[in-house]
Chain A
Amino acid sequence: MTGKPRINIPKSIKAGDIIEVRTLISHVMETGNRKDATGRVVPRQIIHTFAATFEGKDVFRAELNSGISANPFISFYLLVPGAGTLALSWTDDAGATVSEQVAISLS
């Protein structure tokens, strides 16, 4: 996995708001169904798990299969009880994990 994921949250957040969290990460999401020029199957290499926690509590999780497009975009919602840290992670078939933390402050 290369590159830093893009994470988008609203600019102004109040306690009790339900906010949309939009994420985008660069990844080939190789399906495992494709053959290369020599006729050999290109092995599957996808992000299979995306997870989001807020202050250590599970918020949202996605188990992805090869039917999700390359450079996966995932949008979900979060009920913000107060200021805290949103932790996001993406894990692929090669065992690579990208983790990001987003500080959510109230305004």
Chain B
Amino acid sequence: MLRDIGTVGQRIQAIGRRQFVVSASAAALFLPAMLRAGPALAQDAVPTAPPSAVPAPSPATPETFDELYARLTKGAKPTEGKLTFEIPEIAENGNTVPFAVTADSPMTAENYVRSIHLMSTANPQASVALFYFTPQSGKAVVASRMRLAKTQDIVALAEISNGEFWVARTKVTVTIGGCGG
């Protein structure tokens, strides 16, 4: 869970950087004006604009499925057979493919499924959704509808309270792709 909070943090940082780039370039534009306005103002402006320290944001290269999967499992080999998909083998409309994921867990305070991460191997973004459970969930079952850009494998990875990982993988054939390609 901490790791995922980290992900959100990174995203916020990324947004911060982007806004910072904008403000830095705006500062550069107005810097000559500020210099004319007076030395005190110019000094105030200087610390906000170290342009060399700003890496270019790269929204064009999102994390691939392999990168995401490796980051989540940290090299561990997840157990198969404890997590199951309910999803059509052939999806006529990739814009809305119903699915359910079920984890075979007692969901007690000592032994429960913390999260199920749903991933696609060929969508523009590998991470589709991350579902968190608690013992109060009673059952580690979630259902929703997903977009599939084209025929591909989809993968669910569950993290158990004892640190284990469970995985399920299934192929879905898509007749008309989703994601507004």
Contacts and interface: CB of A to CB of B under 8 A. Distances in A.
| Interface class of chain A by DSSP | strand
B95 A67 contact: no
Residue from A19, A33, A59, A69 with most neighbouring chain B CB atoms (10 Å): A69
Interface in B147-181: 147-148, 178-181
Contacts of B123: 67
A48 to B, nearest CB: 9
B137 A77 contact: yes
A65 B125 contact: yes
A54 interface: yes
Residue from A33, A61, A76 with most neighbouring chain B CB atoms (10 Å): A76
Interface residues of A, number: 29
B96 A57 contact: no
Contacts of B124: 31, 33, 66
Contacts of A73: 98, 143-145
Residue from B147, B178, B181 with most neighbouring chain A CB atoms (10 Å): B147
A59 B136 contact: yes
Contact of A65 (B129, B132, B148): B129
A67 B147 contact: yes
B46 interface: no
B16 interface: no
B131 interface: yes
B155 to A, nearest CB: 12
B130 A70 contact: no
Contacts of A75: 100, 141-144
Given A31-B180, A69-B96, A79 B129 contact: no
Contact of A64 (B120, B129, B148): B129
B144 A58 contact: no
B145 A72 contact: yes
A48 B179 CA distance: 16
Residue from A63, A66, A67 with most neighbouring chain B CB atoms (10 Å): A67
A106 interface: no
A43 B20 CA distance: 19
Contact of B145 (A57, A60, A65, A69): A69
Given A60-B131, A75-B142, 8 more contacts: A18-B138, A57-B136, A61-B132, A63-B131, A66-B125, A69-B146, A76-B142, A77-B141
Interface of B: 4, 8, 95-98, 100, 107, 118, 120, 123-125, 127-139, 141-148, 178-181
